[in-house]
Structure 1
Amino acid sequence: TDTTVEIADGYRPHALSKGWGWTVLDLAEGGKLNAWNAGEMAAKGQVLIYLDADVLVSPPLVAQIASALSVDAPRYASGRPNVTVSDDDALTRHYTRFWLTTPFMVHGVPGFGVFAMNRAGRARWGNWPDIISDDTFARLNFSPEERLSVPATYDWPMIEGFRRLVQVRRRQDIGVAEIETRYPALMANDDDHDRTEPVLRRALRDPVAFVAFALVRLTIRLPVLRSDNRWVRGR
């Protein structure tokens, strides 16, 4: 147990002063999927926003997302991620610099940390499946044309430390592979990566970042630093 409920409930007076509804669910059964399914049933609005606890949104983000999703057709939206890294972790800083040049980050709407959809979009599936990469599942339920990027930003902290970076990135790879196996039709909605600058050119421009990135990717494929925890997190 923790003080999440008390902290969330502490914002009730401020929300009510703005004329907003404010409902905090204190569920006996834990678990992310149970929380999402219960939250969706309790929510009354036409826009559903899914936000990681360690993400800081800029003031305009929620309003911009709500505006973008105020349409009848199924739509998905997110803001522009500002990936933050501690000054104390040089390897993670170098890794992140190269990661920011990958196709996933350069094209489309990544949606990690915070994503949203309107009710018409959410109607495309029932309860959330018990899978690792639920954010990827949500994103790929929409075509690239249905995924909207709004200009407002949000801060998303990168996993720090070599061990945690390897473990979490390995888990994410497993999560994507799980979707490819269980929901192969969704992969048709992935972004076209052919427009990305070639790896060699990016590596020559920032060789230190490339070496850090390659080291993590190589270690992911080796039988080291493995965790039996399906939900391993870096923070």
Structure 2
Amino acid sequence: MATTDPTAFTVIIPAHNEEAVIARCLNVLLADVPADSKMQVIIAANGCSDDTVAIARKVAPGAVVLDLPVGSKTAAMNAANREALYFPRIYLDADVQCSYDSLQAVAQVLREPGIMTAAPALRMDLSRSNWLARAYYRVWLTQPYVKRALVGSGCFGLSKAAYERIGDFPPITGDDIWVYSRFSETERRNIANDAEGRPVWFLVSPPRRAIDQIRVETRRRLGNEQVLRDYPSPHYAGSNNAGDLYDALHEGASVLDVLIYLAIKAVVRLRVRRVKRKRKDIVWERDLAAREV
């Protein structure tokens, strides 16, 4: 049963076969944890056939490590919720990097009345991505979903009031868009700086190649459609429009970047139609190359 503590929070890390990156995630998280910290860490390993569990237990001996037999991200998050001691709760993907200070700043904001969900500012490590993937993200980073109260892409937190409103995660693939669409823009918060003005952020390693971006984006789009179909909400940001792409040109993207972005989106739409035509289940396509440390 969750307890009330004005300084404590729980971090939940779902992990499915993440032996390549789980140590990096935990090392960054635990690097500067103060001795008096009341942060609880839960690694919800699910359906793992590699060394994720062993590595997590070695790197974070003070954490709760769940070894769940079924590979399901949302089921793992729900199982971790039942082990969690505190609110707020912050959900962190195993392949992203975020420091204790940044998560503590998110937790502090989530204690404010009316703030239901929050996330650190998003940073992307594009150093290993090829020129097509970098072009795509030069446009993507300017889009409204990213700029206006983004919650997702690997890290988000929920307040106690938020969890009481939405409850457990449903059996979906788009957990981030589900959380994003449960709350209005005024209830979502991006935190770029903490109370002392220090930067607050988390780091994502996106796909290195355009083909990997297409695979990941296909799964993401199918997941979004699943959420909109089964759990409709007025708070979903919707698709891009021409004005959004025009704004991208004023924020540093080139015409070529926009054309590459549109081409990748077009290929994704074709793949989505093919999957739906064949009535296949959503396949969790992940970019294994981006997980190489």
Tell me if TM exceeds 0.5.
yes
Give the letter for the 1:172 counterpart. R
Could you tell me which residue of structure 1 aligns to residue 52 of structure 2?
A: 4
The change in CA–CA distance for 1:221 and 1:59 in structure 2 (over 3 A counts) is: same
Any idea what SS the aligned residue of 1:60 has? helix
Q: Does the 8 A contact of 1:97 with 1:209 survive in 2?
A: yes
Aligned counterparts of 1:104 and 1:44: Cα–Cα separation in 2: 32
CA-based RMSD of the aligned residues comes to: 2.8
Give the letter for the 1:202 counterpart. A
Could you tell me which residue of structure 1 aligns to residue 259 of structure 2?
A: 211
Write out per-residue CA displacement over residues 53-85 of structure 1, whole angstroms, 9 at most, x where no aligned residue: 110113421110111112465611100010122
Tell whether 2:157 aligns with 1:96: no
Tell whether 2:122 aligns with 1:119: no
The change in CA–CA distance for 1:134 and 1:87 in structure 2 (over 3 A counts) is: closer
Tell whether 2:218 aligns with 1:170: yes
Any idea what SS the aligned residue of 1:189 has? coil
The change in CA–CA distance for 1:73 and 1:107 in structure 2 (over 3 A counts) is: closer
Could you tell me which residue of structure 2 aligns to residue 200 of structure 1?
A: 246
Q: Does the 8 A contact of 2:123 with 2:203 survive in 1?
A: yes
Tell whether 2:180 aligns with 1:106: no
What is the deviation of 1:201? 5.1
Query: How many positions carry a matched residue from both structures?
Result: 226
Aligned counterparts of 2:129 and 2:105: Cα–Cα separation in 1: 34
Aligned counterparts of 2:240 and 2:207: Cα–Cα separation in 1: 28
Aligned counterparts of 2:256 and 2:240: Cα–Cα separation in 1: 24
The change in CA–CA distance for 1:195 and 1:231 in structure 2 (over 3 A counts) is: closer
Q: Does the 8 A contact of 1:76 with 1:116 survive in 2?
A: yes
Structure 2 unpaired stretches of 5+: 1-48, 193-199, 289-293
Could you tell me which residue of structure 2 aligns to residue 19 of structure 1?
A: none
Could you tell me which residue of structure 2 aligns to residue 30 of structure 1?
A: 71
Name the % identity: 27
Q: Does the 8 A contact of 2:90 with 2:158 survive in 1?
A: yes
Give the letter for the 2:236 counterpart. D
Q: Does the 8 A contact of 2:140 with 2:146 survive in 1?
A: yes
Write out per-residue CA displacement over residues 152-182 of structure 1, whole angstroms, 9 at most, x where no aligned residue: 0111111222222112112212222222211
The change in CA–CA distance for 1:10 and 1:212 in structure 2 (over 3 A counts) is: same
Give the letter for the 1:65 counterpart. V
Aligned counterparts of 1:37 and 1:224: Cα–Cα separation in 2: 28
Structure 1 unpaired stretches of 5+: 16-21
